[in-house]
Amino acid sequence: MPERLAETLVDLWTPLIILWITLPTCVYMAPMNQAHTLTTGSPLGLSRQSEELRILNRSKRGWVWNQMFVLEEFSGPEPILVGRLHTDLDPGSKKIKYILSGDGAGTIFQINDITGDIHAIKRLDREEKAEYTLTAQAVDWETNKPLEPPSEFIIKVQDINDNAPEFLNGPYHATVPEMSILGTSVTNVTATDADDPVYGNSAKLVYSILEGQPYFSIEPETAIIKTALPNMDREAKEEYLVVIQAKDMGGHSGGLSGTTTLTVTLTDVNDNPPKFAQSLYHFSVPEDVVLGTAIGRVKANDQDIGENAQSSYDIIDGDGTALFEITSDTQAQDGVIRLRKPLDFETKKSYTLKVEAANIHIDPRFSGRGPFKDTATVKIVVEDADEPPVFSSPTYLLEVHENAALNSVIGQVTARDPDITSSPIRFSIDRHTDLERQFNINADDGKITLATPLDRELSVWHNITIIATEIRNHSQISRVPVAIKVLDVNDNAPEFAAEYEAFLCENGKPGQVIQTVSAMDKDDPKNGHYFLYSLLPEMVNNPNFTIKKNEDNSLSILAKHNGFSRQKQEVYLLPIVISDSGNPPLSSTSTLTIRVCGCSNDGVVQSCNVEAYVLPIGLSMGALIAILACIILLLVIVVLFVTLRRHKNEPLIIKDDEDVRENIIRYDDEGGGEEDTEAFDIATLQNPDGINGFLPHDRRGLLRGIPENAA
């Protein structure tokens, strides 16, 4: 490459050197009337200079030269003659001195102050600086006074082809879909050339491919790269290396060139169907495998990648479609066969499935190639396993009457060993579910018996767990829940639903309802409760009260007459017999307490005490309070008097020789028993109403609940 560049420079420089040697003589010998003057506007003069000349009013005088150029990169033993400055004021007497100033004056360009010859003393690079602006001036040699105003001119650096094209952004990478048609655009690359694009062909680039054919082509001027072969297959070759050349001088001989690389990657399209690695798969699975367990995996390979290789798996046929399912593993791109329902070796020992793998993303451009799917056969063999016993029912419901005899059979559970080599079964009760040990079970036949009495009113349901264990393998056990319902029998008599207390107004009317009562029974008959109410036989002809059965299974107590008086009798006790409808029926007697009270005219109870009845009617509440305060004051005075009198009679000093224990009073008399209780009625103290004699005569009869004249 350096040798070629040297030859090119010699070819270019030879005529130019000859031109520059003859140019000063031609310029100097030019007639005056053909020379350009500053007053007429020299091509190298500027408007500012013309304005200065018009001010000086100088005519027919000025600088004479042609456009100056200098080739870049020229190097020789002597400085390069760029041009010569000359003014028409110079008669050749050597009294004029030329002065040069501006860009590069004295460093790059040097002037002969006598002849006006300008030389380039340094090697120039147009790509570094394309032109230089300098100022020329002619002065008197002796006085240094300017003979003409200064004038600017330009020295242009002429380009030579000294820069090779460069790909500044290389190396390049591009992608194109596989199976693309011929001429599909891949990318374009651009090279730059530092040479002058407007002078010659130094920067005129032509592109070509040095390596990468016949797969790709490039347009020489635009550098657009296209596919040169149709239907390139990524699965055959995915990546191509293309070497691209850019050559200046329009691609002609002697031009400089630069290269870069382009890596073209074929992107995947879905042009391949999935394909199972084998047409037949064999799997085995124990019959006791847990539901949802993965039995095996099948895989359909796809030469495509990414989403184009994704496939979905399905079971499309076979005798195990209800027992097995297949799911797609998106990570491993295979199908996982799982168990949906329990297996039974004794029922069926093998299954055959037909599975299908199909692409999820189909490219319509290749759909005509055929179905993008594949099928395979899967055979699954069921292996025998030692299974636990199986109960005849998943749950049991037993019923037993609460009066069932001990050790009576209330039900039975059964279980079997499902294995071919059947093992005997033993039954037991999980005592964590029967802490009170109310039930037993026969270990051989599973009959459940009653161990303790039952009471439905305490617990209606009993939930226990029965365990079945294989005798040959105690680790094989099964459990089943057993719910035992206790059935009701009529073993509870009815009674009042609450503790009732009735109030009877003295001014009440005959037939008035005094109280309504209802009954309750702890039993639970199938047809509901129905109660019968009655009075004791000896009180059927009760002169004061009567009873009436209501439709809602309740009872109303009515007064037979009016004129009840608290002074005559304050409390009445009415025994009522309540019977149920059980088989056999049960009954009990409950006593209703009826109090006679004073009521207002509209029947509102005001007072039920006899003392309130005998108080003077005109006595106000304030008077009652005053009387009560006086009584309390008198009691306080009496207590104080007694206390002071007792302290007065007691000696103030206890003698030392007295034994305090001698002051203890001993009382060893025994009580009189029932005679004492009859002699002194303590109930009188508990109820002050007894003082006035309005209680029943026989208190013992009241305590027993049935007085002599209760009603």
Which pLDDT score is estimated for 405?
Answer: 92
Which pLDDT score is estimated for 11?
Answer: 43
pLDDT exceeds 50 at position 16: no
CA separation for the pair 479, 112 (Å, rounded): 124
- Tell me the pLDDT tens digit for each residue of 578-607: 888 878 888 888 888 999 998 888 878 888
Q: How far is CA 407 from CA 442, 447, 449, in A?
A: 11, 11, 5
Can you give the pTM of this predicted structure?
Answer: 0.46
- Tell me the pLDDT tens digit for each residue of 389-411: 999 999 999 999 988 999 999 99
Radius of gyration for the chain, computed over Cα atoms and rounded to the nearest angstrom: 67
Which pLDDT score is estimated for 243?
Answer: 97
- Tell me the pLDDT tens digit for each residue of 136-190: 888 888 888 888 888 888 888 887 888 889 999 989 999 999 999 999 999 999 9
Minimum mean pLDDT range among 141-155, 426-440, 518-532: 518-532
Average pLDDT, the chain: 79
Which pLDDT score is estimated for 648?
Answer: 62
Which fold, 275-383?
Immunoglobulin-like (2.60.40)
Establish how many alpha carbons lie within 13 A of residue 471's alpha carbon, considering only the half-sphere containing its beta carbon.
11
CA separation for the pair 429, 438 (Å, rounded): 11
148 or 475, which is more confident? Answer: 475
The residues near 214 (Cβ < 8 Å, ≥ 6 apart) are 228, 229
The residues near 451 (Cβ < 8 Å, ≥ 6 apart) are 406, 407, 437, 438, 439, 440
Mean per-residue pLDDT, 421-446 = 93
Confirm if 694 and 568 have CB atoms less than 8 A apart: yes
Establish how many alpha carbons lie within 13 A of residue 59's alpha carbon, considering only the half-sphere containing its beta carbon.
1
SS3 assignment, position 675: helix
Which fold, 2-158?
Immunoglobulin-like (2.60.40)
Minimum mean pLDDT range among 113-122, 388-397, 610-619, 659-668: 659-668
Establish how many alpha carbons lie within 13 A of residue 554's alpha carbon, considering only the half-sphere containing its beta carbon.
10
Which fold, 390-487?
Immunoglobulin-like (2.60.40)
The residue ranges of every structural domain in the chain are: 2-158, 172-267, 275-383, 390-487, 495-614
Which pLDDT score is estimated for 672?
Answer: 44
Ramachandran area for residue 542 (φ above 0: left; ψ -120 to 50: alpha; else beta): beta
Q: Dihedral angle at the C-alpha atoms of 398, 404, 409, 414, nearest 10 degrees?
A: 10
Establish how many alpha carbons lie within 13 A of residue 280's alpha carbon, considering only the half-sphere containing its beta carbon.
3
pLDDT exceeds 80 at position 305: yes
Which pLDDT score is estimated for 318?
Answer: 94
Which fold, 172-267?
Immunoglobulin-like (2.60.40)
Q: Where are the beta strands (DSSP E) in 16-150?
A: 68-71, 80-84, 96-102, 109-111, 117-120, 131-140
pLDDT exceeds 50 at position 274: yes
Backbone angles phi, psi at 383, to 5 degrees: -100, 145
* Residues 495-614, CATH architecture: Sandwich (2.60)
Sort strands 587-599 and 571-579 into parallel, antiparallel or unpaired: antiparallel
pLDDT exceeds 70 at position 3: no
